[in-house]
Amino acid sequence: MAFWTLFLSVLMCSFYSIQSLKDVKAIVPLAAKARDTVMLRCEYDSENDPVYTVKWYKGRSEFFRYMPKEDPSMRIFPVQGIRVDLSRSSPNEVALIDVEWDTTGKFLCEVSTDAPVFDTKISSGFMYVINVPDEAPIMEILKKSTGSANTIQATCTTPPTFPAMNITWYINGIKVEETGRKSASFDPTYAYSKNRRVPHMTVSHLDKEIDDNTFQGGTIKIQCIGTLFHLYKSENVRFIEENRPQPWPSSVIGISGVTRQCLLPSWVCFAAMAIILVFVNLK
């Protein structure tokens, strides 16, 4: 009988320990600007069990602890790159002020419940702290079109950041896939620093076949947009002029009101109208 009582209570305890602490979730922004204030949230549902501790770690180093039974209930510990503003922190939220590049890393929140049911759960998130550059990406057109059925080769290079930026390309406002991408650092010992958190430039290459239809009103608009999460977006735009002379410049034919409604390439439009005018005159 005593055995069964013990067995049942162990079973019930383990049942309760599974149930006691639910939905522990560290809410850590993916990216922040250097010198900003960042709020780290730790959400949990202890189902009315008393909370014993809420702890925050950066990597393996604890920097914040909330213990409701202690006085003061919130304590901070020195960790490189971490400055906590206790006046703006609470059991669920920690205010990191003046974040810097060094603050980049994995943040973990650990919640433990008190007697009668001891339970501990951890959740984490990675945060990048970024020195956002002022400069825009640089674009270089390596080969221009010289007639029909040519290719455009363009390279776009972003300012160095960690992590390296994303690049997206647009031709005449339509997104096109890059042909290749690599990242490069200024570090001469790059070969040994691939895994270090050093700023990298993204170099994206575009190799795109074009034809007469690519030219809209005699030009091709090429855009390269560099982005760094939601923190940075900057573009470089270049226009490539069509090399061939325009058959009929629109200033010569004084019917621009009609041509504006023509959706075909302009020279096809002019040719069609010339034919129509000839037929009208013949009648």
Ligand X SMILES: *[C@@H]1O[C@H](CO)[C@@H](O)[C@H](O)[C@H]1NC(C)=O
CB closer to ligand X, 54 vs 99 = 99
Which residues face 125 on adjacent strands? Answer: 107
CB closer to ligand X, 84 vs 228 = 228
Interface residue with ligand X among 42, 111, 228, 269 (CB under 6 A) is 228
Q: Is 112 in the site for ligand X (CB under 6 A)?
A: no
Q: Which residue is nearest to ligand X (CB)?
A: 166
Q: Is 130 in the site for ligand X (CB under 6 A)?
A: no
Interface residue with ligand X among 227, 248, 259, 267 (CB under 6 A) is 227
- C-alpha 67/C-alpha 45 separation (Å) is 16
Q: How many residues bind ligand X (CB under 6 A)?
A: 6
Are the C-beta atoms of 31 and 128 separated by less than 8 Å? Answer: yes
Q: Is 163 in the site for ligand X (CB under 6 A)?
A: yes
- C-alpha 213/C-alpha 31 separation (Å) is 41
β-strands 201-210, 38-45 pairing: unpaired
CB closer to ligand X, 190 vs 229 = 229
Scan for tokens 């003061």, then name that residue.
72
Q: Is 259 in the site for ligand X (CB under 6 A)?
A: no
CB closer to ligand X, 33 vs 144 = 33
Q: Is 101 in the site for ligand X (CB under 6 A)?
A: no
Q: Is 92 in the site for ligand X (CB under 6 A)?
A: no
Choose the stretch contacting ligand X; rule: CB under 6 A; options: 163-171, 183-191, 218-226, 235-243: 163-171
CB closer to ligand X, 202 vs 223 = 202
Q: Report CA torsion sign: 260, 169, 239, 141.
A: negative
Please give the full DSSP string across 90-129, using - where no structure is assigned: BTTEEEE-S--GGG-EEEEEEEEE-TTS-EEEEEEEEEEE
At its nearest, how many Å lie between ligand X and the CB of residue 162?
A: 9
Task: Please report, for residues 66, 163, 193, 229, the alpha-carbon distance to residue 184 in angstroms, rounded to integers and kept in the order given.
Answer: 43, 11, 11, 19
Q: Is 229 in the site for ligand X (CB under 6 A)?
A: yes
Q: Is 168 in the site for ligand X (CB under 6 A)?
A: no
Which residues face 96 on adjacent strands? Answer: 38, 84
Contact set with ligand X (CB under 6 A): 163, 165-166, 227-229
